[in-house]
Chain A
Amino acid sequence: MTDNAPEHTAQQRQLLSLDVNGETHELLTEPRRTLVDVLRHDLRLTGTHVGCEHGICGACTVLLDGAPVRACLMFAAQAEGKEIRTVESLADGTRLNDLQQAFSEHHGLQCGFCTPGFLMLAEGFLAERPEASKEEIREVVASNLCRCTGYQTIVEAIDDCAARRRAALRSRLEGTAHHNGDSRDSEDENTSETVPPGAACEEVPCGSTTRSR
C-alpha cells in the first residue's frame, strides 16, 4: 500500500438508512457495496439472487418505489430514501400471494434461482399495467433470463394472475357499485370465482409498494 490509498479501501465506511419491505435498517458499510450485496449479506434477505452482476439476467430484480430495478447495478447508497421491496415481502406469513401461487400452478419455476427476479419484475409491471396482454407480458418477461423453463409457463403464470386480479377487481366493483363490467375483459368473468383463497386481493389493483409488515 502507498500513502495515497485508493478511495475504495476497506477502511472507508458510510452510514446508510434503507427502507426495505416497510422496515428501516441502519447500517455502516463501504460505499462501493452494491444494493444486492447489502440486501443479501448485510440484511440477510437472501431471497434476491445474483446471476450476472452486469444487469442482464435480472435475478436480482427488486422494486424501488414500485419500479423493477437491477439491484446489482446500483450502490446501496443510491437506494436511500426509496421504498425497497424484495421477494420476502410477497407472502403473507406462510401463505403465498396470488402471483406466487400462479407460478406454482403453472410450473413456472424449476430450480427457482431466477424466480424471485421474475416475481418482482411481474409485480412491478402488473401494478403499472394491470390490463397487459399476454404479448406485452412476454415482452416484459424477456427482461430476465431463465435457464430451466423455456419461459412459456412464466408468461402463462403472470397472464393468469393478471386475469384473476382483473376479475377480482371487477367483482369487487360490481359488488359495491352494481357496475356492469366493461366487455373488454369479459373472458375473465368465468374465472372470477376461481380466485384462489390465498389471493392477496387487498393488494389489487393499487400496486404493491405501500404494504408494510
Chain B
Amino acid sequence: MKFTLSWLKDHLDTTATVEQVVEAMTMAGLEVEHVENPGEKLAKFTVAKIVEAVQHPNADKLRVCQVETKDGRLEIVCGAPNARPGLTTIYAPIGAYVPGSGITLEARPVRGVVSNGMLCSARELEVAEESDGIVELPDSLAVGTSAVEAFGLEAAIDFEVTPNRPDWLGVRGIARDLAAAGLGTLKPDPVAPTPGTFPNPVEIKVDGQACPVFAGRLIRGVKNGPSPAWLQQRLTSVGLRPINALVDVTNLISYDNCRPLHVYDANKLTGGFIEARLGREGERVEALDGQTYDVGPDICVIADGSGAIGIGGVMGGESTKVLDDTTDVFVEAAWFDPIRTAQTGRTLGITSDAQYRFARGVDPESPVHGIEQATQLILQLCGGEPSEVRVAGQAPAPPAPFAFDRGYVRKLSGLDVPAARIDEILTKLGFKVDGDTVTPPSWRRDVEGKADLVEEVARIQGFDALPVEPLPEIARPPGGALTLRQRRMRDARRTMAARGYAEAVTWSFMRRDWAGLFGGDQPELVLTNPIASDLSTMRPSALGNLIEAAARNARKGFADAALFEVGPNFRGDQPADQWTAVTALLAPHPPKHWAKAAGDPLFALKGDLMALLEELGAPALQVVQGQNAGWWHPGRSARLQLGPKVVVAEFGELHPRVLKALDADGPMLAFELNLDALPEPKRKGVKTKPALELSALMPLRRDFAFLVDAATPAGDLVRPIQGADKALIDDVRVFDVYAGQGVPEGMKSVAVEVVVQPRDKTLTDAEIEALSGRIVSAAEKAVGAKLRG
C-alpha cells in the first residue's frame, strides 16, 4: 500500500520528514518497500508563460513562441496546437531529461529556428498517461514555480503490511502507531455524525453467515461528476484512478481508514431492499471490472429484487453502479467475514482493495463511522440530503479483556520499561488499560494475550533498546552436536569429495514418468500443485536427477561428470518412508592421456563405494549379483547386502533403456547407498580400539590357480579360502582371471595370492604344506574349485 506525507499529516501532527517517517515505520514493524518520488525526475521543470506565438517560417505545424521563463524571455519552438499567447504551462530548459519521451534537450535548430528549451505535455512529464497539447495551468501560478509544486506531486511511501495488522491498511492506523512511537500527535477524529432528515427507505437484510453486519444510508439529490483536484491528486498520488466524486470518496476512505465502502445508484435498485446473503446455484454477477462471475453458495453476494448485484466485500456490480448522472446514492458499509472473503478472492481470481482489506480483517465496529465519513465528504462535494443510518445484523464480539502482569514485559523481552510507560504505549495504541486488565481496541483482533502486549510495548519502546545477554552456559552433549545420521552424511560428503566427486544438490522432486523408471510414482507422492510438470513427483531416488544433470553437462560440452548427492528419497508420505541416500554418478569420459590408463571404470566406482563404506564404519557386506532393480544393467550391477534382507547399496552400470528415456548418453555408472540401512556402531561410548598385535615374523605369500565354473563369482572362492585358517591367513587377493586356451570350455582360472602371517613361530615346510592342503580343500568344498596343474 502507498500513502503520502501530506495524507499522513491529516491524521498526525508532525514535522517529520519522509525519511524520518520511513525510519519510524521500519522500526515499528512496517516494512517500507521503497519511496517513490515522482517529483525527482521533474526537478528541472518550471512554470512559464507564453507571451507571443507566431507561425514558424518553415513549418506549417510549428509555432515560434516567446516565453517568459525563470531563465528570462526565451524563444522556443512548439508543435502543440494550444501554444497560444497568455498560456501558463511547463518549461524544460536545455539539458533537461524529458521522462515521457526519453530525450535530453539540446539547443538545436528546428527547421532553421533554434529552440531554447521545450514546452511540455502532461504525457511528456509522465503526470498523465495521455494528453492533448501542452500542459494548461491556472494563470495564478507564478513563472518559475516548480512543476512539482504546480502538480502537487508528492513522494509516495510504498510499504508491505504483515497479515496481522489490517489496521495499517489505513493511513490513520499508521498515524496512530507513529504517534505512539513519538513521531507526533494523533489528531482528533474529524468525522462527526450527520443526522438523517428522513428514514432510510431501503430495507437492509443480512444473512449472518454471509455478512454479520451491514450499515447503509441513502443520500438523495446529489450532484455527481469529476471530483475536485485535491481528491484526484490524492488518489493518483497513491496509484488510484479517479472515477467520479461518489466512487472517489469510497476509495479515499478505504485508504484513509481501512474502511471499504460501496455506493449504489439507488434508482437502479429494485424491490426496495438490499441484502447480503450467500449466492445461489447458477447465480451470476457482472462485476465492475466488466467480467461476469459465477457466485455459488460459498460466496457472499449483495442482492436486491433483481437477484445478485455485487460480490460482497470484493467488487460491486455493473447494473447498479453510480455514474455522473446519479442523483440518489445508497452507501453501504458492511463487515464481511475475512476467511470467506479471502476464499472468494481466490475462487474468482479477484484481488481488489476492498477484498484485500476484508480478507485481512476490517474493524468490525467501523461500519457506521465509515458511513458518517462518507456522508460528510459526499455532502461537501456533491450536496444532497442524507437519510437516517440503518444497521442490520450484529458486529462480531469485540476482543475480550484479559489480565496483564506488567512484569511480563521484562520477563519475555528483557526490557525494563516502567509501568507508567507501558500503560502510555498501550493507551496511545488504543488499548484500554484498567488496573491489571487490558482490552484491545476493536481494530486489533490479532491481540489475544499478554505476549502480544509485550510485542506492542517492545516495538514502540524500540527493539534497539533490547538488552544483549549471553545464553546461560549449558553442558555440551558429550557425543557432539550431530546425530549419527548427520555425522554419516557429513563423513560421506567429504569422503566422496576427497575421491573426486562433485557434490550436487538436486530437487527432491522429478518428472512423474521418470520417477516411475526408478520404481516410484505412487499417487500419494504426486504434488497437486507442482511448479512445473517436470517437478511433480517426490523422488524415489536421486539417480534420475543426477543422470539428467550429467546429460545436461554433457550437452554443454562437459561429458566427464562425477557427481554425488547426499539427500532424502521417498518411499511414501509417512515420516518413516523418507530415507537418506548417498548417490554417486560417474559418466566415464576421462580426458585423453599420453600414458593410457586401463581398467574397467566400474571397478574404480566399486572402489569408491568400498572406501566410502569403510569410512562410514560399515560391517562386511555380501555382494549379490543378478537381483538389482530394473534400472540397472543386468550383467554389470550388484547389491551389497547385510544378511539376506537388508540392502545397503546397489551399484553398477545404469540400464541403457533408462538412460535413453532420460535422453542421456551412456554408459553411466552409479551407486546408491542407503545410510539409514547401516547398523549403528557396536561400540558406543567407549572409544578404545582393540589391542594391536604385531608379529615379528615375515608374512609369506603363496599363489594358487584354481579352475572353477565360469559362472562362479570370484568372491565366492575368496571367502572359503579366508576361512581355511582364520588365525594364519591375513589376506586373500584375486590377481588374475583367465579363460581361453589351456582352460577347459565353460571354466575359468582364478589366481589368488594368499598372505600367511605366522603368529608366534616360523612355519615349517610341513606346516605350510598342510595349510595349502586346507586352502585347496576349502576351495573345492565351497565352489568345486580344482587346483590348476
Decide if A and B are genuine partners. Answer: no
Chain B residues with a Cβ under 8 A of chain A: none
Chain A residues with a Cβ under 8 A of chain B: none
